[in-house]
Amino acid sequence: MLDVEAIRKVFPALERQLGGRPVIFADNAATSLKPLCVIQAVDYYYRHLCANVHRGVNVLAQEADALYEDSRNSIASLIHARPAEVIFVRNTTEAINLAAHLLDLTKKDDVICSLTEHHSNFLPWLARANVRCVAPDERGRVTPGAFLEAATPKTKLFALGHVSNVTGVVSPVADIIQEARKRGILTLVDAAQSVSHMPLDVQSLGCDFLAFSGHKMFGPSGIGVLWAREEFLKSRPPMLFGGGMVTSVSEDGFQVQPPPHGFEAGTPNIEGTLGMGAAAQFLMGLDMDNVRDHSRRLAEALINAVASVSGLRAFPLDSSADRVPIVSFAVGSMSPDDVAAILCNRYNIMVRSGVHCAEPLVRHFGQRGLVRVSLSVYNTLDEIAYIGESLKSLSSILAR
Amino acid sequence: MNYVARVAADAADRAYRRYRYYLYWRGQERMYRRRSREELRAAQWAKFRNLLEYACERIPLYREKFPKAGVTPESIRKPEDLLRIPVLTKDEIRQNFPDRLVAGDRKFQPDQIRQTSGSTGESLHFIRPEVGWTRTIQYSALLRTGRISNIPVVSLTTPHCTAATCSLQEQRSGPGMWISKYQKIRFLRHLDPLVELPSSDDILCAPGQYLEQLVGIISYLEPCILFGDPVYLGSLALHLKKARKTVPSVRCVVTTFELLTGSLRDRLREVFGCEVYTQYGASEVLDIANECEHHKLHVRTNIVMVEAIRDGVPAKPGEIGRAVITDLENYNMPLIRYDIGDLVQVGDGPCQCGRNTDVLEHVHGRTRDLIAPAGAGNGRALTPLQVDEVFRGLGGIAAYRFVQRSENQYDVAIMPDGLGDGFDRQALEGRCRAMFGSGSRFNITSVEGIKPERSGKFRFVYSQFSPGVV
Phi and psi for A135 in degrees, rounded to 5? -85, 150
Per-residue pLDDT of chain B (470 residues; tens, 9 = 90+): 688 888 888 888 888 877 787 788 888 889 999 999 999 999 999 999 999 999 999 999 999 999 999 999 999 999 999 999 999 999 999 999 999 999 988 888 888 888 887 766 678 899 977 555 545 665 666 666 655 555 677 888 887 766 555 554 444 444 356 666 676 776 776 677 777 787 887 888 767 788 888 888 888 888 888 888 999 999 999 999 988 988 988 888 999 889 999 999 999 999 999 999 999 998 888 789 999 889 999 999 999 999 999 999 999 999 999 999 999 999 999 999 999 999 999 998 789 999 999 999 999 999 999 998 886 655 578 999 999 999 999 999 999 999 999 989 999 999 999 888 889 999 999 999 999 988 999 999 999 999 988 888 899 999 988 766 66
Q: What is the 3-state secondary structure (H, E, C) of A45-99?
A: HHHHHCCCCCCCCCHHHHHHHHHHHHHHHHHHHHCCCCHHHEEEECCHHHHHHHH
For residues B218 and B206, the answer to whether their CB atoms sit within 8 Å is: no
H-helix or E-strand spanning residue A311 = none
Residues of chain A positioned with their CB less than 8 A from the CB of B102? 397
User: Is residue A296 assigned to a domain?
Assistant: yes
User: Is residue A370 assigned to a domain?
Assistant: yes
Is there a contact between B109 and A337 if contact means CB atoms under 8 Å apart?
A: no
- For A126, which DSSP code? H
Is there a contact between B106 and A346 if contact means CB atoms under 8 Å apart?
A: no
Closest CA of chain B from A354, distance in Å: 10
Same domain, A61 and A98: yes
pLDDT value for B100: 95
Same domain, A371 and A343: yes
Same domain, A100 and A173: yes
Same domain, A113 and A184: yes
The strand ranges marked E within B172-256 are: 194-196, 225-228, 252-255
Same domain, A235 and A98: yes
Is B279 near chain A, with CB under 8 Å? no
Question: In chain B, what are the domains?
Answer: 1-366 (3.40.50.12780), 370-463 (3.30.300)
Same domain, A202 and A228: yes
Give the best residue of A368, A397, A400 to mutate against chain B (max B CB count within 10 A).
A397
Q: Of B97, B168, B169, which has the smallest distance from its Cβ to A342's Cβ?
A: B97
Of A285, A307, A337, the one marking the end of a domain is A285
Full residue range of the structural domain in which residue A238 is found: 38-285
Catalytic site includes residue A207:
no
**Average pLDDT across chain A, whole number:** 95
Which positions 109-128 of B are in contact with A (Cβ < 8 Å)?
109-111, 113, 115, 123-125
| Count of Cβ atoms closer than 10 Å to residue B386 Cβ | 21
Closest CA of chain B from A346, distance in Å: 4
Q: Of B97, B106, B107, which has the smallest distance from its Cβ to A345's Cβ?
A: B97
Is there a contact between A342 and B91 if contact means CB atoms under 8 Å apart?
A: no
User: Is residue A400 assigned to a domain?
Assistant: no
User: Is residue A251 assigned to a domain?
Assistant: yes
In angstroms and rounded to an integer, the radius of gyration of the C-alpha atoms of chain A is 22
Size of interface A-B (CB pairs under 8 A): 50
Residue type, A393: S
Shortest CA distance from A334: residue in chain B: B110
Which positions 149-188 of B are in contact with A (Cβ < 8 Å)?
168-169
Q: Is the peptide bond before B73 cis (omega within 30 degrees of 0)?
A: no
Of A285, A303, A320, the one marking the end of a domain is A285
Per-residue pLDDT reduced to its tens digit, B88-119: 999 999 999 999 999 988 888 888 888 887 76
Cα A190 from Cα A192, distance rounded (Å)? 6
Closest CA of chain A from B53, distance in Å: 22
For chain A, how many structural domains are there in total? 2
Is B220 near chain A, with CB under 8 Å? no
Residues of chain A positioned with their CB less than 8 A from the CB of B115? 338, 341
User: Is residue A242 assigned to a domain?
Assistant: yes
Per-residue pLDDT reduced to its tens digit, B422-467: 899 999 999 999 999 889 999 999 999 999 888 888 999 999 887 6
For residues B361 and B454, the answer to whether their CB atoms sit within 8 Å is: no
Q: Of A337, A393, A399, which has the smallest distance from its Cβ to B99's Cβ?
A: A393
Per-residue pLDDT reduced to its tens digit, B261-290: 999 999 999 999 999 999 999 888 878 999
Same domain, A335 and A196: no
Of A285, A316, A331, the one marking the end of a domain is A285
Q: Is the peptide bond before A260 cis (omega within 30 degrees of 0)?
A: yes
Residues of chain B positioned with their CB less than 8 A from the CB of A19? 91, 95
Reported ipTM: 0.81
Same domain, A355 and A305: yes
Is there a contact between A399 and B108 if contact means CB atoms under 8 Å apart?
A: yes
Closest CA of chain B from A263, distance in Å: 40
Closest CA of chain B from A140, distance in Å: 28
Same domain, A276 and A295: no
Per-residue pLDDT reduced to its tens digit, A247-296: 999 999 999 999 999 999 999 999 999 999 999 999 999 999 999 999 99
In angstroms and rounded to an integer, the radius of gyration of the C-alpha atoms of chain B is 23
Is there a contact between B169 and A337 if contact means CB atoms under 8 Å apart?
A: yes
Phi and psi for A391 in degrees, rounded to 5? -65, -40
Tell whether the model's pLDDT for residue A211 goes beyond 80.
yes
Same domain, A217 and A293: no
